[in-house]
Structure 1
Amino acid sequence: MKNLKLVTVATCLLTFVMSLNMSAQSNMMKQETKMVGGAEMYPTKNIIENAVNSKDHTTLVAAVKAADLVDALSSEGPFTVFAPTNSAFDKLPKGTVDNLLKMENKMMLQTILKYHVASGKWNASDILKAIKKGNGKAQITTLSGGTLTAWMKGKAVYVTDENGNSALVTIANVNQSNGVIHVVDAVLLPKS
């Protein structure tokens, strides 16, 4: 009889702890889930699993597929992605995207896309700390081997490429299971 009571108490305690854990996870998901391109971005999904659902990132997803980077960006990471929107790609000279998506330009496309990705998880607070530590500028080394410079204007965070072109971070801290995405309004280009 004592064993049955102990088992019952242990079962109740375990159920209670599990419900607290599930509640905490549910609250965490609600806090971290963000809307991007009309779709919820779940922190339990990886960069690719979320990006394919954003109607604002169809060009980026097509480019990632054409560059054969889907597996890389689905891997464990962590990665920080500065993700240009479709309208960011539209700002490029006419025909640029179509040209980059051609098989013969795959290496160039890979370089450009990797220029938007840094190793590690750089949340907005990490970037802001680095900007403060760097006296107003933070250097971020990308997977392509290039450098992006983060800086602030008022409360807005910008990222500048090696050619002096800047992109505004429009949505920060879109957490992923393998990193974080910061949505940007321009395509960043490595030094040519």
Structure 2
Amino acid sequence: MKKFWLVSAFFLSCTAAHAADIVGTAQAAGNFTTLVKAVEAAGLAGTLQGPGPFTVFAPTDEAFAKVPKAKLDALLKDKAALAKVLTYHVVPGKVMAADVKPGMVKSVEGAPLTFSVKNGKVHVDKATVIQADVPADNGVIHAIDTVLMPK
């Protein structure tokens, strides 16, 4: 009987360790608290928990801290503007860092993002990918050091 419980506990721990959707993965990472709060405020959580696949260039909490507090507070209160900014950080499909090619790619928001690779690091507009290829069940997250603003 003891072996059964050990095997069951092991099985449950292994199945619990698999990746979650984009939102769950961001929550579990611990350094995307502001992003998750913004996604929920914009009403986008359901979309990013959907089938995807999505590639999210996710600003860390440190990236959001660079945005002046008054501007961030105003953005968090304006659902339409917030959704526009957040969807600018998303491209359709699952794009791993090694597959990024220099050039422009249309964001979910509609405006193009400009990608470049310098010294082995991926850059998106003025942001740098600081942690690449965080897997999620419905796509991938790339942590970036700057909040991107659509033009």
> Normalising by structure 1, what TM-score?
0.68
Q: Is the 8 A contact 2:54 2:94 kept in 1?
A: yes
Q: Are 1:92 and 2:67 an aligned pair?
A: yes
Report how many aligned residue pairs link the two structures: 137
- Counterpart position of 2:114: 149
The one-letter amino acid of 1:84's match is P
Residue 96 and residue 54 in structure 1: after superposition, are their counterparts in 2 closer, same or farther (change >3 A)?
Answer: farther
SS at match of 1:188: coil
1:177 aligns with 2:137: yes
**Matches of 2:73 and 2:85, distance apart in 1:** 14
What corresponds to 1:117 in structure 2? Answer: 90
Trace 1:51-66 onto structure 2 (pairs within 5 A). 51-66=26-41
> Moved runs in structure 1, 4+ residues, more than 4 A?
none
Q: Secondary structure at the match of 2:128?
A: strand
Match of residue 3 from structure 1: none
Q: Structure 1 residues 51 and 185, CA, compared in 2 at 3 Å: closer, same or farther? A: same
The aligned amino acid for 1:71 is G
Change (3 A) 1:53 1:92: same
Larger Rg belongs to? 1
CA distance in 2, matches of 1:93, 1:45: 31
Cα displacement (A) at 1:54: 2.6
Q: Distance in 2 between matches of 1:176 and 1:58?
A: 17
Cα drift, residue 43 of structure 1:
5.3
**Distance (whole Å) between structure 1 residues aligned to residue 45 and residue 97 of structure 2:** 24
State the SS of the aligned residue for 1:53. Answer: helix
In structure 1, runs of 5+ residues without a counterpart are: 1-25, 30-41, 131-136, 161-165
SS at match of 2:20: coil
Kindly provide the amino acid, as one letter, of the partner of residue 111 in structure 1. K
Q: Secondary structure at the match of 1:122?
A: coil
Matched AA of 2:109: S
Identity of aligned residues (%): 44
- Shift of residue 44 of structure 1? 2.9
**TM-score, scaled relative to structure 2:** 0.85
Higher RCO (Cα < 8 Å, 6 or more apart): 2
